[in-house]
Amino acid sequence: MAEIIGQAGVNLTEELANYLNGSNGNVNSQELASIINEYLVGGDKLGAQGSQVQSGIYRRFLESDLVPGKVEVVTTGLWSGDTGSLTSFFTSSTQAAASTADYYLNVYNADPSSDTSAAVQYAVAYGHRLASGSVSLANDDSSTLATKATYAQYRSILLDQDQTQFLFYSSSAAGTHASEDVYVINVSRARYKEKLDPGNWSLTLSGSNGTHTFIDDSGKKFDDTVGKAGRVFNIGSGSLNLGTEAASTIESLVDSNGRGYGLFYPDQGIFVFNPDALEATVGSSIDSGSATGTTRYSGVAYDGQNQFLMHNYISGGGDFEARRTENVSTSHYFVRATNREFNFSNNPTFVTGSDGTFAESTFVRDPRTFITTVGLYNDANELLAVAKTSQPIPKSFDKEVLIKVKLDF
């Protein structure tokens, strides 16, 4: 006969004998089960296979009922309401007139001046390594050189410490094109959550040369570049070919002068565009009626104007499609109702009279209930989550029910 030894060196037989000798005949089955379970593990514990019928409205989850810590990848539309396409682009006159507009311009999905549901979707910014496009100190001693600050900010976020300029793809022998200035689209943190979905976005820009659509080159799965800011992909003109069986198509990563269009940082929710390449391909920005003009200001008398030009490119194109992905932790709870459990109801209409007679006479030997809700409680009997069944589930002595509850967090 095998002998089961506990952690303290005491065997099960000895501990049971000690309990029985000290019980004075008052043996408690739960205390006995607790002693035995100290010597058993996992599914071997008493009741772990569901053989123990529990009374009342609560049933404790056993180890075999739980599957925690699973991770699922979920993809949804990027914009408000989990929509995948943004077709309306609005700015706030209040923000545009504030000093923050010297650095960035917030873009909404609706007019914030008349629609209380309007929410910021992304911000556009312009940066120049040498502060071109900002009022110079020679013209204004209080100038903050906003474009230089913007360029330096995104350089510190996205580039390695020894890289002083943004390097775009190039068809030249050098393979890269160093750019003094950049347009930046920074997606709102609340929108992209964990990361943007590479290969699943497209941006249509419109200018004096018509409309052009841009996507990333993430289809080259083995050419990913990983830097300080995570994965980096090139931006090129092309099409996602949605609604067809064809894969996305990259037409060109460079403009007619061999300069790359931009870089995409999905883990940061940031798009960086090369202004020179955009103007060569899309043309001059179409003025939407503001005082921004149609081409970039490189002089010393303007602050915060160039981001308006990028906004005009985007609003003129009228279509920004994108999705996001996130890893969602899930736990699965298997709620088991054996044939002898949950066949009675606490609902007062279940019985009649002071003697507790069944209201339905056929329930005398065959009571029936319908399961509609499962509540998940902690050890303090505090309700943590509620799961609803799609339809009532009949329960009786000749039926057993298994309900799987999936909890995402």
Q: Work out the angle at residue 361's Cα, subtended by the Cα atoms of residues 358 and 363, and round it to the nearest 5 degrees.
A: 70
User: How many helices (DSSP H) and strands (DSSP E) are in the chain?
Assistant: 7, 22
Amino acid at 299: G
pLDDT of residue 4: 42
Closest CA to 334 of 383, 407, 263, 233: 407
Query: Which are the contacts of 112, defined by CB distance < 8 A and separation ≥ 6?
Result: 90, 92, 94, 118
248: phi then psi, degrees, rounded to nearest 5 = -60, 150
Give the residue ranges of DSSP H helices in 132-242: 146-158, 189-192
Output the pLDDT for position 137: 76
- pLDDT on residue 359: 83
Compute the distance between CA of residue 153 and CA of residue 157 in angstroms, rounded to an integer: 6
Q: What is the pLDDT, as a whole number, of residue 241?
A: 83
Check: pTM over 0.85? Answer yes or no.
Answer: no
The pLDDT value given to residue 86 = 96
Q: Please report the pLDDT score of residue 228 as a whole number.
A: 64
Supply the pLDDT for residue 3. Answer: 45
Q: DSSP 3-state assignment of 211?
A: strand
Q: How many residues does the chain have?
A: 409
Backbone angles phi, psi at 38, to 5 degrees: -65, -20
pLDDT tens track, the chain, 409 positions = 444 444 444 577 777 777 777 766 676 666 777 777 776 655 555 554 444 445 567 888 888 888 887 888 889 999 999 999 999 999 998 988 888 888 999 999 999 999 999 999 999 999 999 988 887 777 777 778 889 999 999 999 999 988 999 999 999 877 899 999 999 999 999 899 889 999 999 999 999 999 999 999 987 544 556 666 779 999 999 999 877 777 788 999 999 999 999 999 999 999 999 999 999 999 987 654 444 556 677 666 666 678 889 999 999 999 999 999 988 888 899 999 988 888 888 888 888 877 778 888 888 888 889 999 999 998 888 999 999 999 999 999 899 999 999 888 7
pLDDT number for residue 302: 65
